[in-house]
Amino acid sequence: MTERRVQQLIAKALTSANVDRAKYYHMCWWEGRLRCLHVHHTKDVHPVFFAAPGEVFAETLNPHQWQLLTDRIMAFRRSHNLAPNRWRPPGALRGRGASRQRPRVTGFDAQRLRRLLSGNPRAPLATRACLDRLEHLLETADTVAPEEIPRDVVTMNSRVHLKDRNHEDAQRSISLVFPADAAIDAGPETAKVSVLTPIGLAILGRRVGDRVEGRIRIQDLPYQPEAAGHFDL
């Protein structure tokens, strides 16, 4: 499958979509073909290549977005060794193995996090690297309504218990917050960690039981705003 053929598939999916500019959509492989669908069209895990507000899909994609979609679709096909005429989504995944493949982010969190991407034009190099990683995370994550996020997924302003595999007796408790709210306090029980840090980006959208950064395990989620009915945090 050539880049030109992939871009033809993308164009067809876009022209076939009935997009509402005020809602969120993603480009995915669903029921045997590439489609642009509302992010809530299913709760099943499936290949998603790009997600954005409807207004992005309603307008012409910019060159970066075209190339990003093309590269991801071609990489997906190659990774599964599938011929163009037999390209199908992988077998339905079950359990934690499926959720570990792609993080989940609420639409409310995604909207606020995207503002960070355009609000730091002169950010230091280290922060810029985190912003690039955040952008990639938002583009690849499954975006869901706050009311539909599973109770064991780390969302913004969640309190998380982490355990280091190299120090089994040590457990760290952090709150995942926006940069303006971050303050690393002396007491580990009250530490607030910015999402624009390696550990913050590693745990966002992940589930209890997942291992991140190679050795850190998400041990527990004693507080998640959505589970507590706090949808404005």
96-233 belongs to which CATH class?
Answer: alpha beta
- Residue 191's Cα: distance from chain center in Å? 24
The 8-class DSSP code of residue 31 comes to T
Find all residues with CB under 8 Å of 4, minimum gap 6, and list them.
Answer: none
Helix (H, G, I), strand (E, B) or coil at 215: coil
Q: Decide if 140 contacts 76 (C-beta within 8 A).
A: no
Nearest to 127 by CA among 203, 182, 190, 173: 182
Residue 203: CB atoms within 10 A of its CB come to 26
* CA 198-24-50 angle, 5° bins: 55
Domain ranges of the chain: 1-92, 96-233
Each residue's pLDDT tens digit in the chain (233 positions)?
A: 577 778 778 877 876 777 778 889 999 888 777 888 999 888 888 889 999 998 888 776 788 888 899 999 888 887 766 555 444 433 333 344 444 568 999 999 999 999 888 776 666 666 777 888 888 888 888 899 999 999 999 999 999 999 987 666 678 899 999 998 886 554 556 689 999 888 899 999 999 999 887 678 999 999 999 999 998 88
Sign, CA dihedral 36-41-45-50, equals positive
- Over residues 102-158, the pLDDT tens digits come to 899 999 999 999 988 877 666 666 677 788 888 888 888 889 999 999 999 999 999
d(CA 40, CA 37): 8
